[in-house]
Amino acid sequence: MHLLKVFSFFLINLLLISCGGGGGSGGSSDTSYSNNSTGNTTSNSMPSINNSTEIYEVNENQTTAFSVNADDPDGDSLTFSLSGDDGSLFSISGSGVVNFIEVSDYDNPSDINADNSYQLTVSVSDGTATVSKDFTVVVNNVFDGFSGQIIYGNKVQGATVCFESILDSGCDGIVNSVTSAQDGTFSLEVSDSTEGTLVAQGGFDPSTNQNFDSLSVRMSLKDPVRDESLVVSPLSTLVEKNQNSSYQGIKEHLGIDNTFMIRFNDPYSNLDSAAFKKVAKIDNQLFILIEALKSIDPKETEDVLTDSVEYKISNALTNRTGSETSLGDTTFIKKMIESWGFDNFTLTNAILENLSAGLSSYLQKIYIDEV
């Protein structure tokens, strides 16, 4: 009987425990600990990170990243810390403000993958419990202006370069302008990237000292050109002057390799390349053709847009038919002059024949040295 009583006692206790009658706690986010001096048990609620997103985008050239939104149900003081692949590149304040230690630079990313996407982990502690959350800070590029080269048969030094927001207003009266260097390079800061035209006026050829008093090479900036070194040249001017033309169309009509980027590739940078060498030759041919036609019919430099020399050359190329792509082709030159509409003389058959033959012959003799 004694053994039966003992067995019954243990069986009853076992049933009580299995039914929850033993006083054990369920799954809770609270942490319980005993106060040894009083014997009381105190419950601690874990802190939380409440940011609605884990990805933040910021512009370069600043230190601000984001703020951590954290709280503690018990009102405990919180401490913040950072870790992760790029955590050492940031600091975090006592209130959870995360900043870059160094000013962010899109062109020189310092994150572990060098892709301007910074990975870090934020940890928040109330002294007893700690929670963590991963964040990503993406650095965006900020537009700050244009840079590139001025080419007009050769690199142009001393040209005034500006951003023209009003059609054909030129650089006169524009305070924010720069002068191209000996190698034709320039760097122009502008406040935004709204549509407009990059214009280079005047200057001279540093290798021959030839002055370009009437020079005006242009590039339309309707298309995105951020962070690209631009090449402002007669070719870009042909496209800017004629809304019916395009870079692709100009390349097709002049036989320029499809991989060559008129707006971005300096043709003189790689004369070992047949594609680059051909464009360098075309730039020189255009320089001569434009200057010759301006001399023959000076009023063209003062007339409306559709009467400009560059527009008429571009229009002739746009309407060109057949497989011939040489700029010095006699038939092409003759058709262009025939439909030109000169202001200061009558184009007789004799003048047409002599002028077209002379121009095409001269253009065909142009070649580019590799040295």
Please indicate whether the domains covering 48-140 and 143-232 agree at the CATH topology level.
yes
pLDDT at 23 over 50: no
Quote the tokens at residue 263.
């707006």
Q: pLDDT band at 324, cuts 50/70/90?
A: very high
pTM (2 decimals)?
A: 0.64
**Mean pLDDT of the region 231-246:** 90
Q: pLDDT band at 205, cuts 50/70/90?
A: very high
**Mean pLDDT of the region 283-300:** 87
> How would you label 208-246 residue by residue, b for 16+ Cβ within 10 Å and e otherwise?
eeeebeebbbbbbbeeebeeeebbbbbbbbbbbbbeebe
**Mean pLDDT of the region 56-74:** 95
Four-CA torsion 155, 156, 161, 166, nearest 10 degrees: -90
Quote the tokens at residue 84.
């992760």
> For residue 279, which amino acid is it?
V
> Strands 130-140 and 55-59, how do they pair?
parallel
Share of the chain above pLDDT 70, in %: 82
Domain residue ranges in the chain: 48-140, 143-232, 235-371
Q: How far is residue 159 from each of residues 27, 142, 186, 196, measured CA to CA in Å?
A: 76, 27, 9, 19
Fold of 143-232: Immunoglobulin-like (2.60.40)
pLDDT tens-digit readout, 85-99: 999 999 999 999 999
* DSSP line for 93-112: -TT-EEEESS---TTS--ST
Give residue 226's pLDDT: 53
Quote the tokens at residue 234.
């007669």
Give residue 243's pLDDT: 81
Give residue 176's pLDDT: 80
- Burial (CB < 10 A; 0-12, 13-18, 19+), residue 367, is exposed
Check: CB of residue 93 under 8 Å from CB of residue 124: no
pLDDT at 289 over 90: yes
Instruction: Give which of 58, 140, 133 is closest to 100, Cα–Cα.
Output: 58
Fold of 48-140: Immunoglobulin-like (2.60.40)
pLDDT tens-digit readout, 89-126: 999 999 999 999 999 998 899 999 999 999 999 999 99
Check: CB of residue 60 under 8 Å from CB of residue 140: yes
